[in-house]
Amino acid sequence: MEGAKVLGEYKKFFYADTPAITKNDYGAGKAYHIGTLLEEKGFEKIFEDILQEIGLEKKIDNKKIVYSEYLGREYIFNFGNKKERVKIGKKEYTLEPISYLIIEN
């Protein structure tokens, strides 16, 4: 964990005050470690920050589904706790709970 930035800490039990979520520069990219189960809002917040940091602009946002395009790929994220169907152009996709899909163009 040397050099990692702590984004969140445990608050209870023997883990108290130790890192639960970290971010570290790795080569030309960044590595995130999530060492806990997050509630839906926690996932939404982390992925919102990641998308903003790398410059992906959200095109659909119903607080459960996020869609964006970047470097010739389409990204669809489902942050909800149930299956969601999304129509992008003429195609329809079904995403499992807490999942994503990357479409190569």
Residue 16 to residue 34: CA distance in whole angstroms: 16
Residue 48 near residue 64, CB atoms below 8 Å = no
Q: What is the pLDDT of residue 40?
A: 75
* Residue 56 confidence class, pLDDT cut points 50, 70, 90: low
Q: What is the pLDDT of residue 51?
A: 75
Residue 62 to residue 78: CA distance in whole angstroms: 10
For the chain, the C-alpha Rg in angstroms (whole number) is: 16
pTM, entire model: 0.56
Q: What is the pLDDT of residue 7?
A: 87
